[in-house]
Amino acid sequence: MMTNKSVGKSRAFIAWALITGVAVAVTFVRHDATAAQAPVELGSAAPFGVLAATTVTSTGDTTIDGDLGVSPGNTVTGAPTVNGMLHLNDPIAAQAQADLLSAYNDAAGRTFGAVLVTGNLGGRTLLPGLYKSTSSLEISSGNLTLDALGDPNAVWIFQMASTLVTTVGRQVILSGGAQAANVFWQVGSSATIGGSSVFKGTIMASESITMATAGTVLGGRVLAMHGAVALDANSISIPNTGTASVILVSSAGVTGPFTDASGQSLDLETRTITVPMSGSTRFYRLRAGIALTIESITISGGNVVITYY
């Protein structure tokens, strides 16, 4: 009796493919069941420690390790120390506001695996995930701990339809390798961070953000889409993401406007950016999610090579 070996091989191949397909399907279901969230992409808003729509007011000794921007407004009242760039109603601040809107809508639009929460988060320990409130949230009866369980890439997204309020002295504590860069607060109206608080994460508020006095520290960002940001003797530092992207921006004038340099290539290992020479005088700056400094600028083979740290 003759057998068709080619048919046998074909059937074996099909069976193997079906088994593999089942295995893959099971893997995806298991992954989804964890309700893990991807970080919210902030785009050009990432370098800003403070971003407001109308105005920024600052009293006392406030320090911002990051950029400060206002758009479409153009006013900063007071004299905060800004260890970054100041952008008042310029194209960079306008683009940051546009990217903030996209980031806000991304955070607000997440639905998969949402855990419903209400009222006071104080005294609780929360694992990574998406937390949703149909009203307001507060941290008032104790500190809030975010436990990454050893995963430095763990992400928390908090959605709230109304306000975010912390009372005096409350803290957001990062545990188990949790990173402030991976904590996002999407606030449907306004946020108020109480005096002497230690807060972590990026606050994206539809309206205004108030940082109360007496040494309130924020490891993150305060980004207001339609309102003002009020500061009072605060310390604000944008999170160090470790592998944050770096973008070279250039301008024909020292005061701008600055736009992304065309044809640039980034080497994160050597901390260099290479960009073709433009044939005219250019001024360069770095845009990144962490504070960086240009160390040297050299010419090599028709390219500008910029080293940073």
Q: What is the pLDDT of residue 287?
A: 80
Residue 15 has pLDDT above 50, yes or no: no
**Looking at 233-282, which runs of residues are DSSP E strands?**
235-237, 246-251, 259-260, 265-267, 272-276
Q: What is the pLDDT of residue 25?
A: 35
Task: Classify residue 31: in a domain, yes or no.
Answer: no
Task: Classify residue 181: in a domain, yes or no.
Answer: yes
Q: What is the pLDDT of residue 289?
A: 59
268 — pLDDT class (breaks 50, 70, 90): low
Do the Cβ atoms of 17 and 189 come closer than 8 Å?
Answer: no
Task: Classify residue 5: in a domain, yes or no.
Answer: no
Q: What is the pLDDT of residue 74?
A: 97
Q: How many CA atoms lie within 13 A of 54 on its CB side?
A: 10
Mean pLDDT of the region 224-234? 97
Task: Classify residue 146: in a domain, yes or no.
Answer: yes
Tell me, yes or no, whether 52 and 187 share the same domain. Answer: yes
Of the ranges 33-42, 200-209, 228-237, which one carries the lowest mean pLDDT score?
Answer: 33-42
22 — pLDDT class (breaks 50, 70, 90): very low
Tell me, yes or no, whether 175 and 68 share the same domain. Answer: yes
Do the Cβ atoms of 103 and 40 come closer than 8 Å?
Answer: yes
Tell me, yes or no, whether 62 and 194 share the same domain. Answer: yes
Looking at per-residue pLDDT, the higher value among 70 and 32 belongs to 70
Domain boundary among 205, 237, 269: 237
Q: How many CA atoms lie within 13 A of 132 on its CB side?
A: 12
Q: Which of 113, 145, 154, 153 is nearest to 132 (CA)?
A: 113
Q: How many domains does the chain have?
A: 2
Tell me which residue range forms the domain holding 178: 43-237
Please write the tens of the pLDDT for every residue from 110-130.
Answer: 999 999 999 999 999 999 999
Residue 13 has pLDDT above 80, yes or no: no
**What's the mean per-residue pLDDT of the chain?**
85
Q: What is the pLDDT of residue 290?
A: 61
Mean pLDDT of the region 124-139? 97
Tell me, yes or no, whether 210 and 303 share the same domain. Answer: no
Query: Which amino acid does the sequence have at 253?
Result: G
Q: What is the pLDDT of residue 104?
A: 98
Tell me, yes or no, whether 187 and 282 share the same domain. Answer: no
Domain boundary among 237, 272, 300: 237
Residue 2 has pLDDT above 80, yes or no: no
Task: Classify residue 254: in a domain, yes or no.
Answer: yes
Tell me, yes or no, whether 216 and 255 share the same domain. Answer: no
Tell me, yes or no, whether 58 and 203 share the same domain. Answer: yes
Task: Classify residue 15: in a domain, yes or no.
Answer: no
Say which DSSP state 42 is in.
-
